[in-house]
Chain A
Amino acid sequence: DTAVSQTPKYLVTQMGNDKSIKCEQNLGHDTMYWYKQDSKKFLKIMFSYNNKELIINETVPNRFSPKSPDKAHLNLHINSLELGDSAVYFCASSHIKGSLSTDTQYFGPGTRLTVL
Chain B
Amino acid sequence: AQKVTQAQTEISVVEKEDVTLDCVYETRDTTYYLFWYKQPPSGELVFLIRRNSFDEQNEISGRYSWNFQKSTSSFNFTITASQVVDSAVYFCALSGIYNQGGKLIFGQGTELSVKP
Contact = CB atoms under 8 A, between A and B. Distances in A.
Q: Does B associate with A?
A: yes
Nearest to B108: A42
B104 interface: yes
Interface residues of B, number: 25
Given A106-B47, A107-B44, A110-B43, A100 B109 contact: no
Contacts of A45: 103-104
Interface string A76-116: 00000000000010101010100111111111111010000
Contacts of B39: 41
Contacts of B91: 43
Interface residues of A, number: 32
Given A101-B97, A104-B50, A33 B43 contact: no
A107 B45 contact: yes
A110 B104 CA distance: 16
Nearest to A31: B102
Interface in B83-105: 89, 91, 95-104
B45 A50 contact: no
Nearest to B96: A101
Contacts, number: 71
Q: Which applies to chain A's interface (DSSP): helix, strand, loop or mixed? A: strand
Interface string B65-78: 00000000000000
Interface in A23-77: 31, 33, 35, 40-45, 48, 50, 55-56, 58
Contact of A101 (B37, B100, B106): B100
A94 B111 CA distance: 26
A102 B106 CA distance: 16
Interface of A: 31, 33, 35, 40-45, 48, 50, 55-56, 58, 88, 90, 92, 94, 96, 99-110, 112
Across the A-B interface, the 5 shortest Cβ-Cβ residue pairs: A101-B102, A107-B45, A55-B101, A43-B106, A56-B101
Given A58-B103, A90-B45, 16 more contacts: A42-B106, A42-B109, A50-B101, A56-B103, A99-B98, A101-B33, A101-B96, A101-B98, A101-B101, A104-B50, A105-B47, A107-B45, A108-B44, A109-B44, A110-B43, A110-B44
